[in-house]
Amino acid sequence: MTCADPVANSDQTILDYLFRPMGVDGVYARTRRYEDVVDALQSLISRHRPDEAVVFRFPPVMSLRQLEKQGYLNSFPQLLGCVCALHGTEADVAAAVNRAKEGEDWTRGATSAGLVLSPAACYPVYPIAAENGPVPEEGLTFDVAADCFRHEPSKDLDRLQSFRMREFVRIGAPAQIVVFREQWMKIAESIAESLRLPFVFDRASDPFFGRIGVLMAANQIEQALKFELLIPVRADSAPTACMSFNYHREHFGKTWELVDQQGELAHSGCVAFGIDRLALALFAMHGLNVEEWPGDVQEILRLK
Ligand code: 5GP
Ligand code: ZN
C-alpha cells in the first residue's frame, strides 16, 4: 500500500523510523533506509547534470573572510555558525580545560579559527571561478554540494540546522542566467512529477536580517530574483521549499571581480536542491517503506 496522505506520517513517526536523535534539535543521525533515498536523489540529479559542468564537493566549512567579503554578515548574521578553537600556549589551553572542569563555560576562551559553517553550497565557487580570469563567452557552469548549517533550531523535520544542499551554478551574461533558470525550473518540474510529488512554484525572498532586511526581501520579490518549488510535507502547515531558483544579478561578480571578455561584471544564478527536504517529502508522501512506493517512483530513483 502506498501512502498519499502526508498526515499519516507525522514528524514523530518519521523521526522514529528514519533518524536517531543526537541531543540537539535539527541535528540527526540518518539511518540506512533514509540515506539510500538520499543517494538515489543525488544520482538522479547527477543524471541531469549539464555535460560542461565543473564539479566541486565542498567541505562543511568555508573561509570566514570570504563569507564576510560577500556581505553575509549584513544579510543573514542570525543564521551563521562560526568555528572557534582554543588558541594560545599549552597553559592557555589547560586553563580553559580547567574552567570546564569547574563547570564554567570553556568556550569563552575560544576564538575564531577563521572558518564558518557553510550556509549555502555555492558560496565557495565564485572566488574559485574568479581565479581563472575573465569568464568565457559561453559562460561557466558548476555542480556543487556541501553540508550546510543555518542556526534555526526547530523540532520540525523540514527545518534542520545541518542539511545537504546540491546546486547547479551558472556564471555569465544576464541572458544566459535567465535561460539557465528557466530551463532548470522546467527540469525541476519534471523531476517532481516523475517522483509523484505535488508542488507549486512561488516567488520567494530570503530571510534578510533586521529592518533593512524587510526592504531587501520586498525588493527580491518585486524583481523576481528568487523562486521556490514547494511541496506539502505536513498536511497542517504550508508547503515546504524543497528547491530554489536564484538570480544574484552582479552581486558575486562585483564581490569577486568576475568579469566577461569585455570587462563587464558577470552575473550569476543558482538552482539549489534541498536534498534532505526532498527525501523527507518522498517519505511523507509515499510512506515509510520504500518497497511500497509507486513502482515508477522506485524505478526513476533506481531503487529496484
Ligand atoms: P535557500 O538558499 O534557497 O534558502 O536554500 C536552498 C534549499 O536548501 C532550500 O530550497 C531547501 O530545500 C534547503 N533548505 C533551506 N533551509 C533548510 C532547512 O532548514 N532544512 C532543510 N532540511 N533544508 C533546508
Ligand atoms: Zn546558490
Which set of grid coordinates corresponds to residue 199?
508542488
- Report the candidate in 210, 205, 229, 217 with the shortest Cα–Cα distance to residue 278: 229
2 domain residue, yes or no: no
The residue segments making up the domain with residue 91 are 82-117
Rounded CA separation 301/304 (Å): 8
Ligand with smallest separation from the Cα of 274: 1
Look at residues 259, 252, 272, 212 and name the one whose alpha carbon lies nearest to residue 70.
252
Q: What is the DSSP letter of 259?
A: B
Measured from the CA of 152, which atom of ligand 1 is nearest?
A: 19
Q: What is the chain's pLDDT, residue by residue, as a tens digit (304 residues)?
A: 334 454 456 888 999 999 999 999 999 999 999 999 999 999 999 999 999 999 999 999 999 999 999 999 999 999 999 999 999 999 999 999 999 999 999 998 899 999 999 999 999 999 999 999 999 999 999 999 999 999 999 999 999 999 999 999 999 999 999 999 999 999 999 999 999 999 999 999 999 999 999 999 999 999 999 999 999 998 788 999 999 999 999 999 999 999 999 999 999 999 999 999 999 999 999 999 999 999 999 999 999 8
Which atom of ligand 1 has the smallest separation from the CA of 229? Answer: 10
Residue 183 CA, ligand 2 centroid: distance in Å: 16
Both 199 and 261 in a single domain? Answer: yes
Same domain, 161 and 280: yes
The DSSP element (H or E) to which 154 belongs, if any, is none
Give residues (CB < 6 A) around ligand 1.
120, 150, 152, 158-160, 163, 165, 228, 241-244, 272, 274, 276-277
Centre of ligand 1 to C-alpha 116, Å, is: 18
Distance 272 CA to ligand 2 centre (A): 6
Is residue 137 domain-shared with residue 264, that is, in the same domain?
A: yes
Atom of ligand 1 nearest to the CA of 276: 22
Phi then psi dihedrals of residue 116, to 5 deg: -125, 160
CB 8 within 8 A of CB 2: no
Q: Answer yes or no: are the C-beta atoms of 191 and 199 closer than 8 Å.
A: no
CATH number for the domain spanning 286: value is 3.30.930.10
> Ligand 1 test: best mutation among 14, 67, 165, most atoms within 8 Å of CB?
165
Query: How many Cβ atoms from other residues are within 10 Å of residue 70's Cβ?
Result: 18
Sheet holding 240-249, edge to edge: 54-57, 140-149, 162-172, 267-274, 240-249, 226-231, 200-203
Same domain, yes or no, for 113 and 231? no
Assess whether 164 and 29 both reside in one domain.
yes
> Does pTM top 0.85 for this prediction?
yes
DSSP summary character for residue 173: -
